[in-house]
Amino acid sequence: MKNTIICNEDLYFEHKLWRSELKFWDLELSFFDKQLEPLTRSITDKDIAARVDHFQNQFNIHRAKLDEIRDGIEDHEFNLALHEKAKVNAIDRIRYKSHIDYRERMNRERELYQELKKEYYDFLVQVIALDFEI
């Protein structure tokens, strides 16, 4: 098996991509919250009100996961900075394993977030079909 050297710059770059994606999700979740505000004030249908609550809870859960991932990225970058300071431009296997774990978490979160968005958009279509204003 060929030894591959993973440079810190490569990992920083991936972190930068992840942080951009996390920031976009934060903005998108804020937008979704604002879309739900009129419904929370005017809905009398208990089923729709329960779905609104469901989405608000899911958005909050997703935000908490984003914060966890963001914190993990910061911890990982701190370790990378220590490597940089020691003039070591490659990461050890244990730290790289940690990076791979975060990559897998990001991939899983992408899947979950896409499912949530699809469910949310389907809900919006149902609400619009019932002639509610959003």
- Placement of tokens 């469910």 in the chain: 119
The tally of domains found in the chain comes to 1
Q: How confident is the model at residue 83 (pLDDT cuts 50, 70, 90)?
A: low
| pLDDT at 13 exceeding the cut of 50 | yes
What Å distances lie between residue 95 and 35, 71, 80, 99, 100, CA to CA? 41, 15, 9, 6, 9
Percent of the chain with pLDDT strictly greater than 70: 83
Side-chain half-sphere of 24: how many Cα atoms within 13 Å?
Answer: 8
**In a domain? residue 50:** yes
The 3-state secondary structure of the chain reads CCCCCCEHHHHHHHHHHHHHHHHHHHHHHHHHHHHHHHHHHHCCCHHHHHHHHHHHHHHHHHHHHHHHHHHHHHHHHHHHHHHHHCCCCECCHHHHHHHHHHHHHHHHHHHHHHHHHHHHHHHHHHHHHCCCCC
| pLDDT at 29 exceeding the cut of 60 | yes
**In a domain? residue 74:** yes
What does the pLDDT read at residue 88? 60
- Name the residue type at position 37: E
**In a domain? residue 124:** yes
Give the tens place of pLDDT for each residue, 84-112.
676 665 566 667 788 888 899 999 999 99
**In a domain? residue 134:** no
**In a domain? residue 2:** no
pTM of the model: 0.80
Whether the CB-CB separation of 11 and 80 falls below 8 Å is answered with yes
Show the domain range for 45: 8-129
- Name the residue type at position 124: L
| pLDDT at 59 exceeding the cut of 50 | yes
**In a domain? residue 3:** no
**In a domain? residue 47:** yes
**In a domain? residue 12:** yes
| pLDDT at 57 exceeding the cut of 90 | yes
